[in-house]
Amino acid sequence: MQSFRTELENPIVEKDIIDLEKKIREFREGKIHDEKFRSLRLARGVYGQRQPGVQMVRIKLPFGKVTFKQLLRISDVSDEYASRNLHLTTRQDIQIHYVSLDRTPQMWEELQRDDVTIREACGNTVRNVTSSPDAGINPNEPFDVSPYAHAFFTYFLRNPICQEMGRKIKFSFSSDDRDTAYSYIHDLGFIPKINEQGERGFKVLLGGGLGAQPFLAELVHEFLHEDQIIPYAESVLRVFDRYGERTNRNKARLKYLVQKLGLEEVLRLIEEERTANKSKSFKIDRDTVPQPQIPELIDYPALDEVINSLDYKHWHATNVTAQKQEGFYAVYIKVTKGDIPTELARKLVDAISPYAADEIRVTQNQGLMLKFVRAAALPSLYVALKELGFAKPGFDGVGDVTTCPGTDTCNLGISNSMSLSVALEDVIYEEYPELTYDKDIKIKISGCMNSCGQHGLAHIGFHGSSVKANGKVVPAVQVMLGGGTVGDGTGRVAERVIKAPSKRATDVLRTILNDFGANAEKEESFHQYYDRNGKDYFYQLLKPLADLSNLKDEEFVDWGHEGIFVPAIGVGECAGVVIDLVATLLLESEEKLGWANASFEAEAWSDAIYHTYAVFVGAAKALLLDKGVNSSTQIGIIREFDNNFVATGEVELEGTFNDLVLQINKNEPTKEFATAYLSAVEKFYNQIKAKREEQFQ
């Protein structure tokens, strides 16, 4: 592939893109091991697809915000580099598919022209910071959390403390106590509060997560002042980076660190890291995310016939809500499967621009939210949306099913979750139309157990699986019941009830809804109904549908497929593993030493110190591996180096390696400490490098 040079105004992004192009070239030339390269490209939002030779590219949209111009730019990029489709995710991102690896630098350059990034949308770092889509317009919110989510995005993007962690970290900001950003399943979840003194702050939850083994987050602060949330998050990341698992990716999440060390010890370590933080207090600019310009007032047609129609009334009742700004409304758009063809995306922008402000929010259930629509404009907007198929009622109701891509594109997918979601929605709209008004029951599907479709927090959830019958493999769903949001940081994890063939999932849904309709007590919620009856009740209720003795031929075929089901699970890349090769680690350490010196020259003392710390750990790990000693955490590497090299006299230090390296959390990030720490690591690295060269001689 040929080298290219960008012409962007942002030199940092330009350097990023040129570096990606260089690394791709070196990978093609065999100079970078594929495991190491995987980690590098994931941190640039480039994710290997199920289909060989092509990539999924995840576009990072902090708190789901996208302007008309940005949506058009993303559509143009998808046309040029991908499959002419935009996929909305449960983390408020947009994904495009079937991208050639060699074209990703040019693609990134095109996106960046309208301030759209793919940096750290995947990989072992801080993922997209999510928030309630109605932040800023919610009548019940104590204050707008959008500037806080934006501050987290900017502060941790390219931050040295979170570039090569054991796995990903996820932050969320809910707009009010309804907790619509699901704080309870995040590594750090924030709910806005105002204390008795009228100060802004947040209720903070730590250590939540879904995946194959869901954990509910622990309450760690009833009220944390707004100026302390970024320093606190920085301390959390420092602890996770140092103590988190790195070998077994199934245990490499913050929730498992809390389980391993205990909450009290994790909180002690977090407090210990505060000394080293770049910021002891961080004042967030509340004006950094201004409200978009309100659309001009024009003469809207009366459209009495539309207003009086039943379809419009259904749509208005389920997809329109009043904003806290008097006279304006938010309009929600249900997007089936989260997929929008690019041609339709362009038509959508043209259709809504006269009626809505120039800011769209992607929602956690894979839909869209429009803002600042005048009451008089609603009928005209409805007509424009209906022409495009975007005026289906029931947003976020029972019939608005959340789904991941499943076997359509994902390496880990076991079943076709997208086709199943359409089948389940058809059941609701055709057989239970009255439930389109019900927003208390959520149905969610994932193609595997990893819960990208959030089945773990669904009232009625399904994830892809398989069962064996008559010597054949049958596509199946694991039925999950009883999960969901309670509110103010409290949530419920859905329980695994029973497995049934995938083609019977629609009957599973019918059976549950029929029983709920017939046997729920007056005013009883689905949670109350589930708790009153208990898990075994639902197991017995659904057991006939799990019977494999009466399978039909079509039940050996998954939704959306024609051939017999064959499970073909690839290697997941959500947290690519860095290859443990001695030479690679030493080269990386040398590169990070360059970063440390560059940060020092820029007077970024905290960054220089953390890059220096990474050199200590990386070089020590290289020498340990040369001796056949492996450790799954950074703190373990530090201790093993003392045991295997310092205590034996093979490496001479004035004290212990532990004391030398962990000066990082005993000192303020000053110029004086950065100077001494950098000097010490240069001496250490040269000693390690010389020792390695002696071994080869």
The CATH number covering residue 172 comes to 3.30.413.10
pLDDT of residue 695: 63
pLDDT of residue 7: 59
In the three-class reduction of DSSP (H, G, I as helix; E, B as strand; rest coil), residue 169 is classed as: strand
The CATH number covering residue 666 comes to 1.20.120.330
pLDDT band at 411 (very low <50, low <70, confident <90, very high): low
Same domain, 137 and 255: yes
- For residue 109, is pLDDT > 70? yes
CA 103 to centroid of chain Cα atoms: 24
pLDDT of residue 1: 47
Query: 503, 505, 368, 516: which is closest to 434 by C-alpha?
Result: 516
Cα 402 from Cα 365, distance rounded (Å): 5
Task: Give me the mean pLDDT over the 369-391 stretch.
Answer: 97
Cα 238 from Cα 50, distance rounded (Å): 33
pLDDT of residue 208: 97
Answer whether residue 393 is part of any domain: no
Answer whether residue 147 is part of any domain: yes
Give me the percent of the chain exceeding a pLDDT of 70. 94
- Last residue of some domain: 77, 112, 147? 112
pLDDT of residue 408: 67
Same domain, 46 and 75: yes
CB atoms closer than 10 angstroms to residue 76: 17
- Last residue of some domain: 85, 112, 139? 112
Burial of residue 300, with CB atoms counted within 10 A of its CB: 0-12 exposed, 13-18 middle, 19 or more buried: middle
Cα 357 from Cα 463, distance rounded (Å): 37
Q: Which of 42-46, 368-372, 472-476 has the highest mean pLDDT?
A: 368-372
pLDDT of residue 696: 56
Same domain, 544 and 596: no
**H-helix or E-strand containing 191?**
strand 188-194
pLDDT band at 643 (very low <50, low <70, confident <90, very high): very high
Answer whether residue 397 is part of any domain: no
The CATH number covering residue 85 comes to 3.90.480.20
Answer whether residue 675 is part of any domain: yes
Q: For tokens 């998954």, what's the residue?
A: 558
pLDDT of residue 565: 56
Same domain, 600 and 688: yes
- Asked if residues 596 and 664 have their Cβ atoms less than 8 Å apart, the reply is no
Same domain, 62 and 87: yes
Same domain, 435 and 504: yes
pLDDT of residue 579: 38
Same domain, 436 and 378: no
pLDDT of residue 275: 96
pLDDT of residue 200: 98
Task: Give me the mean pLDDT over the 436-463 stretch.
Answer: 91
Answer whether residue 372 is part of any domain: yes
Query: 152, 282, 231, 179: which is closest to 492 by C-alpha?
Result: 179
Same domain, 141 and 271: yes
Query: 469, 446, 448: which is closest to 458 by C-alpha?
Result: 446
- For residue 19, is pLDDT > 90? no
Q: For tokens 């000053």, what's the residue?
A: 670
Task: Give me the mean pLDDT over the 286-292 stretch.
Answer: 95
Give the CA-trace dihedral at 119, 122, 127, 130, to 10 degrees: 100
More confident residue, 425 or 578: 425
- For residue 142, is pLDDT > 90? yes
Cα 32 from Cα 24, distance rounded (Å): 9
- In which domain, by residue range, is 597 found? 582-696
Query: 401, 144, 165, 177: which is closest to 285 by C-alpha?
Result: 144
Question: CA torsion sign, 305 to 308 to 312 to 316?
Answer: positive
DSSP string, 563-575: SPP--------TT
- Last residue of some domain: 240, 257, 276? 276
pLDDT of residue 673: 97
Q: Kindly state the tokens that stand for 273.
A: 């890291």
Same domain, 345 and 262: no
Query: 115, 119, 136: which is closest to 128 by C-alpha?
Result: 119
Answer whether residue 159 is part of any domain: yes
Q: How many domains does the chain have?
A: 5
pTM, two decimal places: 0.93
Residue burial 547-567, b: 16+ Cβ < 10 Å; e: rest: eeeebeeebbbbbbeeeebee
Q: Which of 432-446, 509-523, 549-563, 611-625 has the lowest mean pLDDT?
A: 549-563
Same domain, 504 and 530: yes
Q: What pairs with residue 322 in β-bridges?
A: 329
Answer whether residue 122 is part of any domain: no
Answer whether residue 448 is part of any domain: yes
Same domain, 544 and 594: no
CA 25 to centroid of chain Cα atoms: 29
Same domain, 142 and 49: no
Q: In what order do the strands lie in the sheet with 188-194?
A: 130-131, 171-173, 188-194, 200-206, 218-225
CA distances in angstroms from 617 to 157, 190, 239, 246, 597, listed in the order given: 22, 32, 14, 13, 17
pLDDT of residue 691: 80
